[in-house]
């Protein structure tokens, strides 16, 4: 009976909040699109999906003032999406991705709004754009006592700095945060053991933390470390063989003070939530400019998981595949993503007819491991899911 009342209350509350969100908006957000929260959603992944930048989630929280705790949102609640003026990226690809995401969630609604969104994103921004790692933005005040959220950071801009890049080159500025799948855990050098601010349990740039590495470990002031965590076990969709752990790169920190067995460090970049006990490995710069190259052999495989745990993937999403350097795969190789269509029977001869493959999209490899690779979906013509098949592109122009 108690559960029934809770469900009824939640349903009624959702309807009330939806009414408030749509009809009770201020002039600044009365034209906003409304998204209904689903199981597993967070403000982080909603910002990533609809605004192409998860770090602006505090602005999304500010837009929806009825949310008292940003870490607690519930299925059925309405989220007024951010207006186009705060979108951080200026690219046609991002516009298409955003329009596709909105269309999937709200089919048939506000088609003219899609045009406005694309126009707003593709219009060059005025004024200087700064990279997050150089000047983190000031942290927003949080009205919650137990957990404070990471500060807002600015998306790495696409645009003028890549204007002279050759056509056979792929640029992915966020390669350092892309993560990977590895069968072996990284050899962690150390971990975060405490925060300089004892009231915090979640960190982001430019928070100060303590790590369990000091002068007796050879650490020096100015040394940098990637912050990571070992996530879910990943299995082959066909054979069910264990492929490895999903390794999430959470951010980066820089040593500012060294003592014998501990050091003080400042988080200089945060890609996801960072917590005590997250692991450290020495920082190695990633390659953001990748030369495209056709694969030597028509290697086949599967999309095995994504950087973010989504049901459907599209353009600009990072995914992992079950083919790597052991099969001759290298950064810059491209794969066609496809599905096998169900065979049909010829009505005349009753023979089985095998239909052409259904092309879903294309991906580009940006990192390789022995048995797996990290890739970015560079084109999607249909929704892409875990378990979809891939075929290495050995001739240009397949899609």
Question: How much is the pLDDT for 396?
Answer: 54
Q: Is a pLDDT exceeding 90 seen at residue 1?
A: no
Question: What CATH number corresponds to the domain at position 362?
Answer: 2.40.10.170
Q: Is a pLDDT exceeding 90 seen at residue 220?
A: yes
* Domain match, 203 and 94 both: no
Mean pLDDT of 79-104: 50
Of 127-141, 216-230, 298-312, the poorest mean pLDDT is in: 127-141
**Number of separate domains in the chain:** 3
Task: Say whether pTM exceeds 0.75.
Answer: no
Using DSSP's 3-state secondary structure scheme, residue 362 falls into: strand
Question: How much is the pLDDT for 343?
Answer: 92
Residue 144 lies in a domain: no
Mean pLDDT of 119-140: 36
- Pairwise pLDDT comparison (332 vs 23), residue with the higher score: 332
Residue 287 lies in a domain: no
Question: Rounded distance, CA 65 to CA 1, Å?
Answer: 31
Phi, psi for 53 (deg, rounded to 5): -155, 105
* Domain match, 251 and 296 both: no
Q: Where are the alpha helices (DSSP H) in the chain?
A: 2-23, 43-51, 57-63, 92-105, 111-122
Mean pLDDT of 162-186: 78
Of 103-107, 188-192, 369-373, the poorest mean pLDDT is in: 103-107
**Domain ranges, residue 306:** 292-392
- Provide DSSP, 57-93: HHHHHHH-TT-S-TT---TT-EEEPPPGGG-----HH
* Domain match, 261 and 296 both: no
**Residue pLDDT, tens place only, 233-256:** 999 988 899 999 999 999 999 999
* Domain match, 230 and 297 both: no
* Domain match, 269 and 296 both: no
- Provide DSSP, 280-330: EEE------EEE----SS--EEEEEEESS--SSB-TT-EEEES--GGGT--
* Domain match, 264 and 200 both: yes
Residue 143 lies in a domain: no
- Pairwise pLDDT comparison (279 vs 28), residue with the higher score: 279
Question: How much is the pLDDT for 144?
Answer: 30
Question: How much is the pLDDT for 99?
Answer: 43
Question: How much is the pLDDT for 12?
Answer: 52
Residue 208 lies in a domain: yes
pLDDT, the chain, mean: 75
Of 142-151, 248-257, 322-331, the poorest mean pLDDT is in: 142-151
**Residue pLDDT, tens place only, 349-382:** 989 999 999 999 999 999 999 999 999 999 999 8
Cis peptide before 193 (omega within 30 of 0): no
Question: Rounded distance, CA 207 to CA 229, Å?
Answer: 18
């Amino acid at each position: 009976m108690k559960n029934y009342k809770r469900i009824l209350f939640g349903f009624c509350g959702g309807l009330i909040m939806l009414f408030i969100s749509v009809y009770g908006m201020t002039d600044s957000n009365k034209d906003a699109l409304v998204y209904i929260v689903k199981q597993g959603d967070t403000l982080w992944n909603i910002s990533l999906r609809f605004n192409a930048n998860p770090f602006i989630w505090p602005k999304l929280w500010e837009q929806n003032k009825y949310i008292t705790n940003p870490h607690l949102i519930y299925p059925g609640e309405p989220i007024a999406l951010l207006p186009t003026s705060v979108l951080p990226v200026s690219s046609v690809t991002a516009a298409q991705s955003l329009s596709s995401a909105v269309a999937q969630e709200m089919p048939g609604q506000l088609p003219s709004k899609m045009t406005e969104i694309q126009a707003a994103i593709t219009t060059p921004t005025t004024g200087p754009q700064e990279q997050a790692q150089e000047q983190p933005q000031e942290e927003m005040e949080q009205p919650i006592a137990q957990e404070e959220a990471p500060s807002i950071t600015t998306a790495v801009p696409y645009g003028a700095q890549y204007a002279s890049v050759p056509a056979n080159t792929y640029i992915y500025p966020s390669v350092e945060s892309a993560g990977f799948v590895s069968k072996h855990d990284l050899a962690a050098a150390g971990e975060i053991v405490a925060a300089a601010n004892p009231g915090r349990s979640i960190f982001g740039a430019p928070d100060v933390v303590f790590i369990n590495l000091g002068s007796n470990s050879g650490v020096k002031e100015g040394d940098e470390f990637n912050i990571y965590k070992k996530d879910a076990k990943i299995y082959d969709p066909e054979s069910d063989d264990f492929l490895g752990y999903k390794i999430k790169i959470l951010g980066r920190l820089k040593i500012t003070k060294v003592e014998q067995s501990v050091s003080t460090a400042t988080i200089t970049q945060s890609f996801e939530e960072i917590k005590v006990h997250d692991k450290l490995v020495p920082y190695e710069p990633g390659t953001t400019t990748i030369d495209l190259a056709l694969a030597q052999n028509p290697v086949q495989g599967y999309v095995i998981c994504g950087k973010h745990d989504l049901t459907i993937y599209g353009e600009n999403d990072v995914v992992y595949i079950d083919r790597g350097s052991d099969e001759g795969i290298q950064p810059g190789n491209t794969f066609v993503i496809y599905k096998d269509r169900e065979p049909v029977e010829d009505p005349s001869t009753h023979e089985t007819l095998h239909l052409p493959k259904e092309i879903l999209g294309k991906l580009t490899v940006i990192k390789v491991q022995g048995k797996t690779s990290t890739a970015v979906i560079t084109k999607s013509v249909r929704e892409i899911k875990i378990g979809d098949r891939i075929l290495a592109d050995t001739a240009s122009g397949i899609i």
